[in-house]
Amino acid sequence: MKRDEVPGMTHDLIVIGAGPAGMAAATTGVELGLQTLLVDEQPSPGGQIYRNVTGCDPKVSALLGTDYTRGVSLAQRLAASGAEVLHDTLVWDVARDLTVTALHAGRAKQWRAPQLIAATGAMERASPLPGWTLPGVMNAGAVQLAIKSAGAVPAGRVVVVGAGPLVLLVACQLLDAGATVAAVVETAPASNFLAAARRLPRALRAWSMLAKGLRMMWRLKRARVQWFTGAEEIELLGKDAVQAVSFRAGGVSKRIDADHVLLHHGVIPNTQMSHLLRLEHRWDDRQLAWHVVTDAFGQTSLPGLRMAGDGTAIAGAYAAEASGALAALGAAQALGRIDGVALAQRVAPLQRALAVQLAIRPFLDELYRPPKALTLPRDETIVCRCEEVSAGKIREMARLGCVGPNQTKFFSRCGMGPCQGRVCGNVVTQLLADELGIPPAEVGAYRIRAPLKPIPLAALAALAEEAPTQTVNSVAESEHAE
């Protein structure tokens, strides 16, 4: 606790993010008698996986299936719980003393609770390929969001390029939605399948997933979608918009015309907030991403701050529900609002559910592992899209003497644009690690500062009257001892 004047606590529990983890956390918090606030940037609950689930057209929901409509019951439980929910709210700062600062309807708002659960979710891994900045090139997940939020699909010829189960799923969903899928270009090397197969016995659910995968493959085959595996030397071609994809597969050079190219190489935790708070992370070599270090109840290295769901490590939407509920239970316990017996009773089924989801992770992680060409792109490929910094420039910075992303950022401007390193960060860490010959864990990540997203100068200036002595996001002297 800082010695400065601190604002009073406004709630028992604040939850950031209304995806499955956040919804479960908030609902559970209220059930346990905690005065709970849930804030989210979107206009309705669901996060990304259940985006617009309460407003989606029935025909579209049916197309997306039960994996999507699951979100409806979560949203209904949330609505019924009586939790205070504030949508269209952009959290742009979270302090080390857990004060949350946000922008809502153009006005600055602040809240504080002794327990905070950040359920900020995942984002797609960047797929830096030559030409990936061209209009018409999107993430596969983006198209799913267009379907969910607006019932819209790309017109014209679509080519899906990537690795992992979502590649097939999106291609099938597009077909179901009446889009034209010209080709699926898998970048996964054949070795992924072999490595994944080794994980099969440990994950019973893997068999049903495999069956699902086979059904999708058969669907695409019937629709005469061209199929390529182990594709290399992929380039997206076009002048002001994408026009074609070229690649080599099976020893043959191919070029496929496309109006839209969808890229996908898995999802990774969105660690912007967790790095803002300087939480302890570890680099996961299987998911090739930063994971937030937490205990079984989501408690991070900052007391009172818990994280749940895919924002900590990728485990999927069902795991996120259990993870959110566990975090809320942990919060209640920390506040002395639940006894040991009641806690144990509630925890057991959640941990079982989580274990089932986690059991399949090794299998999926191998299937999703991106090829080196994607994590270590060619020199001419743009890595930082905002500032248009190429992989070659980043390698040059390493040779100049930069030993981490922050010096690299300072010298090349990569990571300085509006996205503040969300898209490029993961690739930059891996590029530097490779060039310097040191592990990614040692390379580190971008130092993130408030605001989490750009805010108008006036919104910041407005706080000058309201909170004159507040200290936020500061690391205590002892933590930074020289």
Partner 1 sequence: MFRRIEGQAPRRTIAIEVEGREVNAREGDPLAVALLEAGVERFRDTPVTGAARAPLCLMGVCFDCLVEVDGRPNVQACMVTVREGMRVRLQHGARRLEPAR
Partner 2 sequence: MSTHTEADILVIGGGVVGLSLAYGLVRGGDRVVLLDEGDDALRAARGNFGLVWVQGKGLGQPAYARWTLKAAAAWPAFAAELRERTGIDVELSQPGGLTMCLDDNELAERAAQLQRLRGEVGPDYPYDVLDGDAVRRLLPQTGPAVAGAVHCAADGHTSPLRLLRALLQAYEDLGGRYVPGGRVEAIAHRAGGFEVTTGGATYASSRLVLAAGLGNRTLAPLVGLSAPVKPNRGQILVTERLQPFLTHPTLYVRQTGEGVIQIGDSKEDVGYDDATTLAQLSRIAARAAKCFPLLEGVNIVRTWGALRVMSPDGFPIYQASTQCPGAFVVTCHSGITLAPQHAGPLADWIRGGEEPQETRGFKAERFDHVPTH
Which residues share a beta bridge with 249?
252
**Could you tell which of partner 2, partner 1, none binds residue 472, using a CB distance below 5 to 8 A set by kind?**
partner 2
Provide DSSP, 457-470: HHHHHHHHHH-TT-
105 part of the interface to partner 2, by CB under 8 A: no
Q: Which of 238, 233, 236 is nearest to 253 (CA)?
A: 233
41 part of the interface to partner 1, by CB under 8 A: yes
Going residue by residue from 194 to 223, which x/- string records binding to partner 2, judged by CB under 8 A?
Answer: ------------------------------
**Could you tell which of partner 2, partner 1, none binds residue 475, using a CB distance below 5 to 8 A set by kind?**
partner 2
450 part of the interface to partner 1, by CB under 8 A: no
Q: Looking at 72-80, 135-143, 288-296, 325-333, which segment touches partner 1 (CB under 8 A)?
A: 135-143
282 part of the interface to partner 2, by CB under 8 A: no
405 part of the interface to partner 2, by CB under 8 A: yes
Tokens 């379907």 correspond to what residue?
Answer: 147
156 part of the interface to partner 2, by CB under 8 A: no
Residue type, 220: L
How far apart, in whole angstroms, are the C-alpha atoms of residue 173 and residue 195?
Answer: 27
Contact 273, 302 (CB under 8 A): no
416 part of the interface to partner 2, by CB under 8 A: yes
Those residues whose C-beta lies under 8 Å from the C-beta of residue 209, and which sit 6 or more positions away, are 165, 360, 363, 364
Conformation bin of residue 237: beta by default, left when phi > 0, alpha when psi is -120 to 50: beta
Contact 407, 397 (CB under 8 A): yes
441 part of the interface to partner 2, by CB under 8 A: no
Q: Looking at 31-39, 55-63, 281-289, 472-480, which segment touches partner 1 (CB under 8 A)?
A: 55-63
311 part of the interface to partner 1, by CB under 8 A: no
347 part of the interface to partner 1, by CB under 8 A: no
3-state secondary structure of 20: helix
Contact 13, 98 (CB under 8 A): no
Q: Smallest distance from the beta carbon of 281 to partner 1, in angstroms?
A: 18
Which residues share a beta bridge with 232?
248
Q: Smallest distance from the beta carbon of 55 to partner 1, in angstroms?
A: 6
Q: Smallest distance from the beta carbon of 358 to partner 1, in angstroms?
A: 25
Tokens representing residue 191 in the block: 């070795």
341 part of the interface to partner 2, by CB under 8 A: no
457 part of the interface to partner 2, by CB under 8 A: yes
3-state secondary structure of 210: helix
- Prior bond to 451 cis, omega within 30? yes
Give the CA distances from residue 242 to residues 128, 131, 158, 257, in Å, rounded to whole numbers and listed in that order. Answer: 15, 8, 11, 9
End-to-end CA distance of the chain: 21
Of 8, 58, 401, 468, which one interacts with partner 1 (CB under 8 A)? 58
Beta strands in 346-452 (DSSP E): 382-384, 389-390
245 part of the interface to partner 1, by CB under 8 A: no
43 part of the interface to partner 2, by CB under 8 A: no
Q: Which residues in the 56-95 window bind partner 2 by CB under 8 A?
A: 93, 95
**CB 407: neighbour CB atoms within 10 A?**
15
Size of the site for partner 2 (CB under 8 A): 49
Q: Which residues in the 373-402 window bind partner 2 by CB under 8 A?
A: 400-402
Size of the site for partner 1 (CB under 8 A): 50
1 part of the interface to partner 2, by CB under 8 A: no
**Could you tell which of partner 2, partner 1, none binds residue 234, using a CB distance below 5 to 8 A set by kind?**
none
How far apart, in whole angstroms, are the C-alpha atoms of residue 231 and residue 240?
Answer: 25
Residues in contact with partner 2 by CB under 8 A are: 93, 95-96, 101, 400-407, 410-411, 413, 416-418, 420, 443-444, 447, 449-451, 454-458, 460-464, 467-477, 480-482
Residues in contact with partner 1 by CB under 8 A are: 41-43, 48, 55, 57-60, 63, 123-124, 133-139, 141-143, 145-147, 149-156, 177-178, 240-241, 259, 270, 385-388, 417-419, 422-423, 453-454
